[in-house]
């Protein structure tokens, strides 16, 4: 199965992209793909693309965690081993520079390298500050970034718990509706996890803040 995605590597600017990082994913993660998504494989992330039977539109990496694909992809950016960016951050910035407005990260959470998960959360924050809608997902959770003046409307669906953590200092003017512990004009700080493990009570929850940026985590009861 190939993927018909159109994107900057082929001429047009991608509106939506999916970035595959190195943490192995299962076939159920294909539910996050939409027709026309621009697919970016970061280093060992190309194995995740292959697991889903897809062909990436772009491969990016220094190939320190996996061999370079045996057949060089038409659109491959080989990065130096010594650099400031992670491969995933380079891909994220490249997509933003191409005008991408929505980025989903798969294979970016968990695994043996905790520091890469943390780095990927920082990358998500970088994109959100540029006005890009960001989603990180694995088999157990979904993560989004809450930004000032951009309320999040979250569907309950299969999720039970909803957590909110400040990312870059105090999160002020926090409003949470449709949850067991509603908040009104609250302040969340990084040194106290007040926002952990709230619960949906309505089909939708609505979150907003006045200043700061927050990490929103949706998870299941099991």
Sheet hosting strand 198-199, strand order edge to edge: 76-78, 58-61, 38-42, 16-20, 102-106, 133-137, 141-146, 214-219, 161-166, 198-199
Range of the domain at 194: 146-219
Residue 125 has φ and ψ, to the nearest 5°, of -65, -40
Which pLDDT does position 77 carry in this prediction?
Answer: 76
Which pLDDT does position 85 carry in this prediction?
Answer: 78
Average pLDDT over residues 96-109: 97
Give the CATH number, domain containing residue 196: 2.60.120.320
User: Domain check: are 193 and 95 in the same one?
Assistant: no
Average pLDDT over residues 174-188: 98
Inside any domain, residue 1: no
- Which position has the higher pLDDT, 167 or 2? 167
What is the rounded CA–CA span in Å between residue 128 and residue 140?
Answer: 22
Structural domain ending residue among the three candidates 87, 120, 139: 139
Which pLDDT does position 66 carry in this prediction?
Answer: 59
Instruction: Give the pLDDT band of residue 12 (cuts 50, 70, 90).
Output: low
Give the CATH number, domain containing residue 58: 3.40.50.10240
User: Domain check: are 166 and 92 in the same one?
Assistant: no
User: Domain check: are 165 and 133 in the same one?
Assistant: no
What is the rounded CA–CA span in Å between residue 93 and residue 97?
Answer: 6
Domains: count for the chain: 2
User: Domain check: are 35 and 122 in the same one?
Assistant: yes
Instruction: Give the pLDDT band of residue 101 (cuts 50, 70, 90).
Output: very high
Answer yes or no: is pLDDT of 80 > 70: no
pLDDT, tens digit, for every residue of 40-68? 999 889 999 999 999 999 998 776 665 56
Inside any domain, residue 101: yes
Of all residues in the chain, the percent with pLDDT exceeding 90 is 77
What is the rounded CA–CA span in Å between residue 19 and residue 222?
Answer: 27
């Amino acid at each position: 199965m190939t993927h018909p995605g159109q994107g900057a590597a082929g001429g047009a600017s991608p509106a939506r992209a999916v970035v595959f990082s190195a943490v192995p994913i299962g076939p159920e993660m294909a539910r996050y793909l939409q027709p026309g998504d621009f697919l970016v494989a970061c280093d060992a992330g190309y194995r995740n693309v292959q697991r889903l039977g897809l062909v990436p539109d772009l491969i990016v990496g220094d190939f320190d965690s996996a061999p370079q694909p045996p057949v060089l992809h038409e659109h491959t950016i080989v990065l130096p081993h010594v650099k400031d960016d992670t491969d995933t951050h380079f891909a994220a910035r490249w997509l933003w520079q191409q005008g991408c407005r929505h980025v989903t990260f798969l294979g970016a959470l968990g695994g043996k390298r905790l520091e890469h998960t943390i780095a990927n959360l920082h990358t998500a924050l970088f994109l959100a500050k540029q006005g890009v809608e960001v989603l990180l997902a694995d088999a157990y959770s979904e993560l989004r970034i809450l930004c000032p003046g951009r309320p999040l409307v979250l569907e309950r669906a299969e999720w039970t718990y909803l957590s909110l953590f400040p990312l870059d200092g105090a999160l002020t003017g926090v409003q949470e509706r449709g949850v067991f512990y509603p908040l009104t004009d609250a302040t969340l700080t990084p040194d106290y996890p007040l926002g952990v493990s709230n619960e949906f009570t309505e089909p939708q929850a609505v979150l907003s803040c006045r200043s700061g940026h927050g990490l929103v985590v949706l998870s299941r009861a099991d």
